[in-house]
Amino acid sequence: MEKENMRQKFESEILKTHIEVQEQTMQTIATELHDNIGQLLSLTTLTLNSINVPENEKASEKIENSLSLVNKSIKEIRELAKILHGEQIVESGIGNAIEQEINWLKRVGGYELQVSNNLLELSVSSPDKDLIILRLLQEIINNIIKHAQATSIHIDTYLKNETLFLTVKENGIGFDYEAARTKKTGIGLASIQKRVELIKGKIEVNSVVEKGTSIFIEIPYP
């Protein structure tokens, strides 16, 4: 029993370290995107703006189109940097962090979204848990985009009796959940489960081939 407790504690510490390393990596990437690539694109915009070619209508049109693309790239990079820099997002609360993630999903397009985010006016917070909850949602959405072939996504989240509930449903191709667990082929799913366990939560996955997948998560909160 003592050995089992030690093993669980060891695995928990390893997972914490793994998550910390991931966060540091994401923050480094976010800084590079925002400060370096963002600045380079801004300088490109300034350079394009400085070109004066009133006599050449075709060249002028190409420069205008280039400016539009560069400005759009700057905006997208800034948004991506915010998403990667999770600590800054969750400072404004888990509800707002989830809202930003949903807004990003809307920009991706291609999905009919049904969202019920009841955490926007939350008066309590748990910074450590908030960051893990945000990464959980990001990983679930990433799995849907990569594998599910879904056209509809439903996200529901709320707080009740000091428990935070997060539900994500999609109408994709589904999979054999038990087979994936046995064969350990669902690497993304295993990562989600470990993160939920780390903050003493519960997770239930229901998936039917050709009918989609539903993920139910409960987390003690704050």
What are the pLDDT digits (tens) for 127-148? 878 888 988 898 898 888 888 9
Which pLDDT score is estimated for 154? 97
Domain count, the chain: 2
Q: Which of 84, 99, 120 is the last residue of a domain?
A: 84
Inter-residue contact 163 to 127 (CB < 8 Å): no
Which pLDDT score is estimated for 220? 95
24 with 76, same domain: the answer is yes
201 with 130, same domain: the answer is yes
Q: How confident is the model at residue 115 (pLDDT cuts 50, 70, 90)?
A: very high
154 with 126, same domain: the answer is yes
- Phi then psi for residue 135, to 5 deg, are -65, -35
Which pLDDT score is estimated for 151? 93
119 with 159, same domain: the answer is yes
106 with 199, same domain: the answer is yes
Query: Domain holding 195: CATH number?
Result: 3.30.565.10
Look up the domain containing 19 and give its range. 2-84
Per-residue pLDDT of 30-49, as tens digits, reads 666 666 666 667 767 776 77
Q: Which residues contact 165 (CB under 8 A, 6 or more apart)?
A: 156, 157, 158, 159, 216, 217, 218
DSSP summary character for residue 184: T
19 with 124, same domain: the answer is no
Give this prediction's pTM.
0.66
Which pLDDT score is estimated for 155? 97
Inter-residue contact 80 to 38 (CB < 8 Å): no
Angle at which helices 94-108 and 57-84 pack, to 10 degrees?
140
The rounded distance, in Å, linking the Cα atoms of 51 and 53 is: 6
Judge whether residue 17 has pLDDT over 90: no
Per-residue pLDDT of 64-106, as tens digits, reads 777 777 777 777 776 666 666 656 667 788 998 899 889 888 8
